[in-house]
């Protein structure tokens, strides 16, 4: 069997009927000279084929570390995965060899980052970098891979793809570079795309264009999309469900209309109140008071209690139950969900 055949082969144990991605009680810490930073503390969530899960939370809450743990690209050390499972179609990625993880990264689960410029190689043309994927992983000829690269750059709406294929990364604008990154991520038809703040470095108009492109490609390909962001304003139109992350845990998870219409967790509520709204022109933006906790020193009880408008004594003592289900399809971790919902 050639390497290329081996790579395209399905991993042993993969069950096409098992959930696409299921992250179960994931724990990651960083052991550094300054102490142990508990970056991910029991995060659980899933992504189905054809759906977009937005993972949302303030900077430093563990979103990128979670994504890197799924991809198997954490720097270990200082990072250590101390618990949990990352199931892709029933296979625990955390237990795979590095070789098998590379195969999953190449063919099944792809990722794009905030900084497209540093992810591209400055010394090769964009076309070469896209075409190389088809040559390397699919064994295509030079001319076939070039044709596929042009087709892909067309698909991500790079104007004049045929002529731009010889340009270098620095000759593209930030938005066009992010399109190239999307093309490269989708080249080998992954089942799941993880997009880590893909539009944070871009201006607002370009942000919206990239988001709608991602949504369109995701629909066309029936791909799962895990969309990571700190900006509640950018995901309302594209997400199906939202997981809200705080201090390395998912504190609320619900379909997008419940999150925006009827949040069940005080943190979600506070995040919503901090979005600038056109219909509240001139009104004061409500910024969440206080800072997220240092992950080397997470408060006991509910980690949000020092900043929470609903907090009572119990919140500083007891962590809220891990998965309080409201109906079958949403979850929030708070002692006072009923008060927050007003029921």
Ligand X SMILES: Nc1ncnc2c1ncn2[C@@H]1O[C@H](COP(=O)(O)OP(=O)(O)O)[C@@H](O)[C@H]1O
- Contact residues for ligand X, defined by CB under 6 A: 30, 32, 37, 39, 57, 59-65, 78, 295
In b/e form, how buried is each residue of 68-83, taking b as 16+ CB within 10 angstroms? bbbbbebeeeebebee
Site for ligand SF4 in 242-301 (CB under 6 A): 266
Residue (61 or 337) nearer to ligand X, CB: 61
Which partner, ligand X, ligand SF4, Mg ion, none, binds residue 30 by CB below 5 to 8 Å per kind? ligand X
Site for ligand SF4 in 69-88 (CB under 6 A): none
What pairing do the DSSP bridges indicate for beta strands 52-56 and 35-47? unpaired
Half-sphere exposure in the Cβ direction for 68 (13 Å, CA)? 16
Q: What is the closest distance, in whole angstroms, from the C-beta atom of residue 265 to ligand SF4 in the complex?
A: 6
Which partner, ligand SF4, Mg ion, ligand X, none, binds residue 45 by CB below 5 to 8 Å per kind? none
Q: Position of tokens 């395209």? A: 8
Beta pairing partners, 27: 41, 83
Residue (of 191, 221, 202) closest to 111 by Cα position: 191
**Tokens linked to 264:** 């069940």
Distance, in Å, from the CA atom of 132 to the CA atom of 294, rounded to the nearest integer, reads 42
Q: What is the closest distance, in whole angstroms, from the C-beta atom of residue 34 to Mg ion in the complex?
A: 19
Judged by the rule CB under 5 A, the positions of this chain that interact with Mg ion are 64
Which one of residues 302, 326, 331, 343 is an interface residue with ligand SF4 (CB under 6 A)? 302
Please, are residues 66 and 250 in contact by the beta-carbon 8 Å criterion?
no
Which partner, Mg ion, ligand SF4, ligand X, none, binds residue 305 by CB below 5 to 8 Å per kind? ligand SF4
Residue (42 or 90) nearer to ligand X, CB: 42
Q: Position of tokens 């890197």? A: 68
Stretch touching ligand SF4 by CB under 6 A, among 21-29, 67-75, 220-228, 305-313: 305-313
Residue (47 or 183) nearer to ligand X, CB: 47
Distance, in Å, from the CA atom of 4 to the CA atom of 8, rounded to the nearest integer, reads 6
Distance, in Å, from the CA atom of 340 to the CA atom of 334, rounded to the nearest integer, reads 9
CA angle 88-235-268, nearest 5°? 90
Q: What is the closest distance, in whole angstroms, from the C-beta atom of residue 307 to ligand X in the complex?
A: 16
Which partner, ligand SF4, Mg ion, ligand X, none, binds residue 39 by CB below 5 to 8 Å per kind? ligand X
Residues in the site for ligand SF4, rule: CB under 6 A?
A: 266, 302, 304-305, 308, 310-311, 315, 320, 334-336
């Amino acid at each position: 069997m050639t390497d290329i055949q081996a790579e395209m082969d399905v991993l042993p144990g993969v069950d096409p009927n098992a959930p696409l991605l299921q992250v179960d009680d994931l724990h990651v810490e960083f052991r550094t000279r300054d102490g142990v930073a508990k970056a991910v503390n029991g995060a659980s969530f899933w992504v189905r084929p054809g759906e977009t899960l937005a993972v949302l939370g303030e900077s430093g809450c563990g979103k990128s570390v979670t994504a890197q743990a799924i991809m198997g690209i954490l720097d270990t050390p200082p990072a250590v995965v101390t618990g949990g499972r990352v199931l892709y179609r029933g296979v625990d990625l955390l237990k795979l060899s590095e070789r098998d993880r590379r195969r999953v990264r190449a063919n099944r689960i792809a990722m794009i980052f905030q900084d497209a410029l540093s992810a591209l190689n400055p010394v090769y043309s964009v076309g070469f970098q896209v075409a190389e994927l088809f040559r390397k992983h699919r064994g295509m000829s030079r001319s076939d891979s070039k044709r596929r690269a042009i087709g892909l750059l067309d698909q991500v709406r790079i104007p004049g793809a045929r002529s731009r294929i010889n340009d270098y990364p620095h000759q593209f604008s930030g938005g066009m570079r992010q399109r190239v990154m999307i093309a490269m991520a989708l080249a080998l038809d992954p089942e799941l795309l993880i997009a880590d703040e893909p539009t944070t470095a871009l201006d607002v108009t370009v942000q919206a264009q990239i988001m709608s492109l991602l949504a369109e490609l995701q629909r066309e390909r029936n791909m799962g999309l895990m969309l990571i962001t700190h900006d509640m304003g950018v995901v309302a139109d594209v997400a199906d469900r939202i997981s809200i992350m705080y201090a390395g845990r998912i504190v609320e998870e619900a379909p997008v209309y419940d999150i925006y219409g009827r949040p069940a967790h005080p943190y979600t509520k506070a995040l919503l109140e901090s979005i600038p709204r056109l219909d509240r022109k001139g009104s004061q933006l409500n910024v969440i008071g206080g800072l997220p906790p240092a992950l080397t020193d997470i408060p006991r009880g509910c980690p949000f209690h020092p900043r929470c408008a609903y907090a009572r004594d119990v919140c500083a003592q007891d962590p809220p139950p891990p998965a309080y289900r409201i109906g079958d399809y949403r979850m929030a971790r708070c002692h006072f969900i009923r008060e927050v919902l007003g029921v």
